[in-house]
Amino acid sequence: MDSLLIPPTPYTPLSSSDDNNNPVLVSRKKRILIGCLIGSTLTILLIISIKLVLSMESPASYKTTTTTITTIMLNQSPINSRTTTPPTVTLNQLPTTSTNTVSLSLKSCPIRGENARWIKPGISFINPLGRCLSNENGLCQPRDLFIDDIHDTLYVADSKNNRIQKYSLTETYNSEIGATGITVATKGLLFPQSVFVDIRTEDMYIMDFDQEQTYYPQNSVSYQVHLWKKNDNVGRILLSEVGESLFGGGFHCFTLDKQMNIYVGTRFFIKKWLVSTNYTKNIIVAGHDGQDAWASTSLNDPVAFFITDDLTLYIADGVGKRIQKWTVNATEGTTVIGNLTSIGGITMDCNGYLYYTQALYSVYQLNMLTNQSQMIVSGKNSRIYYLQPGAIKIDKFGNLFFIVENQIHKFSIIKKKNI
């Protein structure tokens, strides 16, 4: 009974050394620790995510090629001529350096290079009758061709009919009368000599003679270049030039580069009309004074030429009977092939092989790497054996088109699987 009357022992708090044995404090510490770990983890993940996003948005690194373009003064002796436009100028600029990103695009070329073969004999694609005709199936002294590989069309400068004809390369036609053309330019044209088409817009550039001048090249002549917008009924004259003996006795052509500068072949020069001056000024980019027709600095009656993307000119030098190569800013050309019996048209395929026409209805292919040429079309035993082929063009499939008198001939390439 006395033990029941003894008061209980008073409560004594635990000391700090016993905190770890306190279940409430232990639970609280665990929650704090877990929260810290979760916060740290989220922070690290956020940093990693930001770095990944920044690395994905930053542009890829590309190798660049620094190209130094130096424009030199071309010392040319002017020929005795009168001109209605500002005189030909020499280009004198300080060297400039530009850095461009170079990207390579590998294209498949359907032509098997020197192993390519064509179906023989060819066909008279336009005007098989061969007479000078002015109807939709006829031609009269055609001077130049242009192939639009985007729209699969062929343009012909039909000189004596004072018109530009356009033909489809995909439609079927009557082989007895040839392909049917439509007239896309005629008003105001006089003996059109050459045609170039901007394949993006289908706008035409046409070179012809001035209405006030005689047609015969050995006399004082004037040429002009028209811009003929698609579906327009009349063109606009971009440039013109008049001079004595401005042209030789062969065909006369022009072309445009990728910047839309206009190159015109005159008797002794290739002149470049500058788009930056709205075609009011030109510079001489090939040729000299013509006194020595066979000199490396000279051209004499360039009957055909074309320009590559790097602005290299390949020129069929009529009197010199050779093909000359002029690089940009060069003061003389190099002979690709010489001692030809004659030279007419010239073109290049997607493999870099040259094609050129000679007398006796012949077409040759030249491999410039090996300097080997081969005849791929021969007119022997043909009724047009003695005729001189003119302009030549090759389409994206490798089919050859070239001018012979009043006709356009076509040689279809044999496809790879059949060779």
**Calpha distance 68→113 (Å, rounded):** 33
**pLDDT for the residue numbered 145:** 97
Distances (CA, A) of 278 to 238, 260, 282: 8, 11, 10
Q: Which helix (H) or strand (E) holds 174?
A: none
Q: Are 362 and 104 in contact (CB under 8 A)?
A: no
Which among 70, 68, 67, 66 has a CA at the least distance from the CA of 94? Answer: 70
**Calpha distance 319→317 (Å, rounded):** 6
**pLDDT for the residue numbered 58:** 42
**Which residues are registered as beta bridge partners of 204?**
197, 228
**pLDDT for the residue numbered 361:** 72
Which among 188, 189, 171, 190 has a CA at the least distance from the CA of 180? Answer: 171
Residue 197, classed as helix, strand or coil, is strand
**pLDDT for the residue numbered 89:** 42
Residue with tokens 């040319």: 76
Q: Are 419 and 117 in contact (CB under 8 A)?
A: yes
> Under CATH, which architecture does the 126-337+389-398 domain have?
6 Propeller (2.120)
**pLDDT for the residue numbered 91:** 38
**pLDDT for the residue numbered 57:** 45
Low pLDDT (below 70) residues in the chain: 1-30, 49, 51-107, 211-221, 244-251, 290, 379-388, 416-419
**pLDDT for the residue numbered 245:** 61
**pLDDT for the residue numbered 114:** 73
Sheet holding 313-317, edge to edge: 302-307, 313-317, 322-326, 334-337
**pLDDT for the residue numbered 115:** 81
**Calpha distance 18→15 (Å, rounded):** 6
- Phi/psi at 172 (nearest 5 deg)? -75, 155
**pLDDT for the residue numbered 213:** 55
**Calpha distance 397→415 (Å, rounded):** 9
